[in-house]
């Protein structure tokens, strides 16, 4: 069982370290959280979170249930007022600020509709958001096949989410916030959504913040990923930098080769596991370094394998002696 005092001590130390903030200057940042806290009575949903998120990017916020993801999104959207600290959008306080909120749309985990079909809802959004794009709206209806006259209250959870996303994206927000964006969507619709979001980021400069429990949904999709745990932001990093210098390989040797020998040769091994004649190695090296070292022992097989985002997180966290099982279980 995880030692809770150890987790809390390490969480406090790490949350105050430079890793909790990606390298984004305040002038470039769309979202700036400064010692941000939100308490509900004695419950600390968020506690002294510091974060800077740049524009025209996709940011993934991960964490288990109760980690504070939804609370963070609602603070960014201006639904909640911070208990302590500040939440800024492009240098402006978000709460009770219509000028900031006109650029922001929040798609909640359970979308709510004021009217009973998309036609009426689109008319409402068109009246509220000056950047509404009717041509984009019609395109999204073709991509996510929902008829404008379908009763929204009779649709499935996945179709509810599709309807909410159609409205949100067609409004062309400068900042789109999504809570469990892919929940209830089938694989085809998930890929469609990813393509649409990526296009809007590139073509329209939209910033997207996605909260999810599922690391695999954010794989090869987000520019940065942050990890929330028990109200603290423990980890924020650019995905390309996370993967740089980590490599996984499957190897078969002609003769038995120990991990100690490979480490003496220069491999910084994080995991060494044998299954019959096959050995899987995860090391903190570049692919070129790994191949150069392993080729010295003439392997029968050497395949470099793709790293999952979950593996990257586990070993980055382990490197800092963090209790991983409490975070990603």
DSSP letters along 192-249, please?
A: HHHHHHHHHHHHH--EEEEEES-GGGGTTT-SEEEEEETTEEEEEEEHHHHHTT-EEE
Q: What percent of the chain has pLDDT over 70?
A: 88
Mean pLDDT of the region 35-55: 95
Q: Which strands sit side by side in the sheet containing 29-40, from one edge to the other?
A: 43-54, 29-40, 84-89, 92-93
pLDDT above 70: residue 183: yes
pTM of the model: 0.80
For 258-309, how does the pLDDT look when each residue is reduced to its tens digit (9 = 90+)? 999 999 999 999 889 998 889 999 998 999 999 999 999 999 999 999 888 7
For 222-232, how does the pLDDT look when each residue is reduced to its tens digit (9 = 90+)? 989 988 888 88
For 85-124, how does the pLDDT look when each residue is reduced to its tens digit (9 = 90+)? 999 999 999 999 999 999 999 999 999 999 999 999 999 9
Phi/psi for 57 (5° steps) reads -150, 170
pLDDT above 90: residue 219: no
Per-chain mean pLDDT for the chain: 87
pLDDT above 80: residue 157: yes
pLDDT above 70: residue 8: no
Mean pLDDT of the region 133-162: 94
pLDDT of residue 313: 72
pLDDT of residue 324: 53
pLDDT above 80: residue 25: no
Mean pLDDT of the region 65-78: 93
Structural domains in the chain, CATH included, are 4-103+174-241 (3.40.50.300), 247-306 (3.30.70.260)
Q: Which strands sit side by side in the sheet containing 278-283, from one edge to the other?
A: 269-275, 278-283, 247-252, 301-305
pLDDT above 80: residue 160: yes
pLDDT above 80: residue 173: yes
- CB neighbour list of residue 144: distance below 8 Å, 6 or more residues apart: 162, 163, 165, 166, 189, 192
Mean pLDDT of the region 10-28: 45
pLDDT of residue 3: 41
Q: What percent of the chain has pLDDT over 90?
A: 65
């Amino acid at each position: 069982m995880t030692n809770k005092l150890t987790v809390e001590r390490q969480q406090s130390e790490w949350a105050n370290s430079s890793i909790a903030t990606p390298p984004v200057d305040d002038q470039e940042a769309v979202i700036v959280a400064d010692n941000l806290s939100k308490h509900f009575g004695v419950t600390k949903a968020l506690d002294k979170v510091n974060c800077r998120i740049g524009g025209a990017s996709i940011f993934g916020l991960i964490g288990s249930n109760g980690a504070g993801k939804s609370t963070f999104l609602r603070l960014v959207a201006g639904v909640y007022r911070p208990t302590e600290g500040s939440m800024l959008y492009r240098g402006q306080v978000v709460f009770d600020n219509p000028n900031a909120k006109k650029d922001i749309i929040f798609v909640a985990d359970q979308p709510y509709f004021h009217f009973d079909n998309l036609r009426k809802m689109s008319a409402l959004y068109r009246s509220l958001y000056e950047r509404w794009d009717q041509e984009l709206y019609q395109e999204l209806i073709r991509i996510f096949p929902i008829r404008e006259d379908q009763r929204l209250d009779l649709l499935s959870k996945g179709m509810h989410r599709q309807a909410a996303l159609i409205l949100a994206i067609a409004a062309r927000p400068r900042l789109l916030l999504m809570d469990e964006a892919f929940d209830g969507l089938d694989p085809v619709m998930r890929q469609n959504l990813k393509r649409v979001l990526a296009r809007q980021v590139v073509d329209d400069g939209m910033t997207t913040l996605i909260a999810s429990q599922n690391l695999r949904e954010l794989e090869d999709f987000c520019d940065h990923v942050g990890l929330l745990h028990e109200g603290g932001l423990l980890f924020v990093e650019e995905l390309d930098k996370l993967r740089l210098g980590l490599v996984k390989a499957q190897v078969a040797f002609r003769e038995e080769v120990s991990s100690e020998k490979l480490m003496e040769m220069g491999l910084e091994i994080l995991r060494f596991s044998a299954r019959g004649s096959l050995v899987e190695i995860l090391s903190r090296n570049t692919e070129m370094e790994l191949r150069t070292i392993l080729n010295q022992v003439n392997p029968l097989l050497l395949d470099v394998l793709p790293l999952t985002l979950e593996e990257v997180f586990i070993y980055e966290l382990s490197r800092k002696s963090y209790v991983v099982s409490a975070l990603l279980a």
